[in-house]
Amino acid sequence: MIKTFTHEKLIRYVYNELPDEQRQEVEQALTHDADLAARCADLLLAQRCLNSLQRGPRAATTRAILQYSRTFLTPS
């Protein structure tokens, strides 16, 4: 039986967010469907690239926020 999977379900698979039964269904389908396996591989590559990106603000942004916040300090 051929089963189709949504893009959302593949993303949830890549991020290990599927219940065991659904995860096993996807894994079985991946072994029999080369197109699905290629789509999944693309998502895994995208995940790896996104995870390697810098996740913090630039130093200049942090300085600007801190400088702005000092305008709200009241002298004691």
pTM as predicted: 0.65
- Give the pLDDT confidence of 10-32 residue by residue, as tens digits: 999 999 999 999 999 999 999 99
Q: Are 9 and 39 in contact (CB under 8 A)?
A: no
| Assigned token pair, 74 | 């009241």
Give, as one character, the DSSP assignment of residue 54: -
**Could you give the CA distance from residue 76 to residue 70 in angstroms, rounded to a whole number?**
13
- Give the pLDDT confidence of 24-58 residue by residue, as tens digits: 999 999 999 999 999 999 999 999 998 888 788 88
Give, as one character, the DSSP assignment of residue 73: P
Sort 40 into a burial class: Cβ within 10 Å, 0-12 / 13-18 / 19+: buried
